[in-house]
Amino acid sequence: MSQATKRKHVVKEVLEDYVVPSPQQQIVRVLGTPGNNLHEVETAEGTRFLVSMPTKFRKNIWIKRGDFLLVDPIEEGEKVKAEINFVLYKDHVRYLKKEGLCRDRKQTVARSSGEEEDSEDDSDLFVNTNRLRCGCTESTDDSEEEEESVTSDQDEEEK
């Protein structure tokens, strides 16, 4: 099978199928990618560990911080405790939440505080820390006027 055909089948499998986790599988959230096809993840209970990416996903499927994964536990490793079985995208997560199979701490906090669970909240989106945020408000104009008056007072004192 050629590389392009393999990639087509892998992408089709990930994007179209809705899976239900088996009892030994876990749904986890990606916290970061330290390298070597490893990903740091966190369970709904708050435990953190590393998972490995199988070769069929490498260079075909991209995983970023905040994505949800379906993982199979492995017994061999001390640090790497699971292997990625399926990448859950937004539609998959909605389906699993509707079925009551996916829960994370943010969702349980939202339910306990009485918020709507399907609200369009952008708090989990990636924030680019490389760009400076400009918090320009009207109060900055007032502070500029104060600085100008202070400097003009100082100029008068020097004369």
For 11-46, the pLDDT digits (tens) are 776 667 778 889 999 999 999 999 999 999 999 999
pLDDT of residue 110: 36
How far apart (Å, rounded) are the C-alpha atoms in residues 49 and 31?
Answer: 10
Which pLDDT score, from 0 to 100, does residue 90 have?
86
Share of the chain above pLDDT 70, in %: 62
**Whether residue 142 has pLDDT greater than 90:** no
Mean pLDDT of 66-90: 91
- The CA-CA-CA angle for residues 17, 52, 124, to 5°, reads 65
Query: Quick check: pTM over 0.85?
Result: no
Residue 155 clears pLDDT 70, i.e. is over it: no
Average pLDDT over residues 94-113: 62
The architecture in CATH of the region 3-112 reads Beta Barrel (2.40)
Q: Kindly state the tokens that stand for 82.
A: 């699971």
Higher pLDDT among residues 58 and 8, named by residue: 58
The more confidently predicted of residues 115 and 90 is 90
Give the span between the Cα atoms of 56 and 78, in whole angstroms. Answer: 23
Domain ranges across the chain? 3-112
